[in-house]
Chains A and B, each alone.
Chain A
């Protein structure tokens, strides 16, 4: 982004205020999208929730794909899940990215974080990171009719289909993990820790920053320099 005269003036003032003479001007050719907390979509969540907002992330992703100076994208996930449609929208943009995208699950990539992780060209999970796969649920006022459950089932199928299309796991196995009992204290479902997510075919590899950056460089035509 080209800085305006006002920006330059503001920067000079900030340098004066901060007492520093050197502000790094380096630009990175690999950009990094951090997905933290709840993924927020149609509804603004109460402010004590840390959120990643659809309206911030989608334009950033478009800008990264359009910018000639940016060679690739690293998606870092530490999310507890969130809005299904916003999560799927982010996942779809990542899946259809022209530039190479690598995802790395750090800490947790739970629920709707799973489709985002698998949408990348190559996905990694830190050995200590976890992914929880459990059933979808509706919040708010529900009408107790069969249609409500059919709707929920259809929405769940949307997410499952996306995961199956972009990972090595089958729908049957994913459903099996989703409805497993005895693993979670408050819910049915499964927690996959590091290598288990790879063994189940959800994530491609166990790794950290070095592995994820290495994969990104291999996917980048000129080898991508940072």
Chain B
């Protein structure tokens, strides 16, 4: 049982009818959420960093394709 304090109703939180497929990856020393699109194309969804300067780096921009040069952390 989880104790949630949120303005979002439970039926919306726990509705998993349209799951998104992305995983956590390490890339150039940063943690990224990467979506595995059809055809093996890996596209950045979100950069997890607290350094605002990282967000100026086009290499970590959301939507950027990063190909094969990545190391998967977990699903």
Contact = CB atoms under 8 A, between A and B. Distances in A.
Interface string B39-75: 0000000001011110011110000101101000000
B29 A1 contact: yes
Given A32-B50, A139-B10, A14 B66 contact: yes
Contacts of B16: 46-48
B65 to A, nearest CB: 8
B31 A80 contact: no
Interface of B: 1-10, 13-16, 18-22, 27-29, 31, 48, 50-53, 56-59, 64, 66-67, 69
Interface in A1-44: 1, 3-4, 7, 10-11, 13-15, 17-18, 20, 23-24, 26-28, 30-33, 38, 41-43
A155 interface: yes
A222 B8 CA distance: 42
B59 A23 contact: yes
B53 A28 contact: yes
B29 to A, nearest CB: 5
Interface centre among B4, B51, B57, B69 (most CB of A within 10 A): B4
Contacts of A111: 5-7
Interface of A: 1, 3-4, 7, 10-11, 13-15, 17-18, 20, 23-24, 26-28, 30-33, 38, 41-43, 45-49, 56, 60, 64, 73, 80-85, 87, 108, 110-112, 132, 134, 136-141, 155, 159, 186-187
B35 to A, nearest CB: 11
Contact of B4 (A60, A82, A186): A82
A87 B2 contact: no
Contact of A83 (B3, B14, B20, B27): B3
Given A3-B29, A7-B28, A140-B1, A38 B56 contact: no
Which 9 A-B pairs rank lowest in CB-CB distance, beginning with the nearest? A81-B6, A46-B16, A31-B50, A111-B5, A84-B3, A112-B5, A43-B2, A140-B1, A110-B7
Which secondary structure dominates where chain B touches chain A?
loop
A83 to B, nearest CB: 6
B20 A10 contact: no
A164 B66 CA distance: 46
B69 to A, nearest CB: 5
A56 B8 contact: no
A187 B22 CA distance: 33
A46 B3 contact: no
Given A14-B66, A82-B6, A84-B4, A48 B31 contact: no
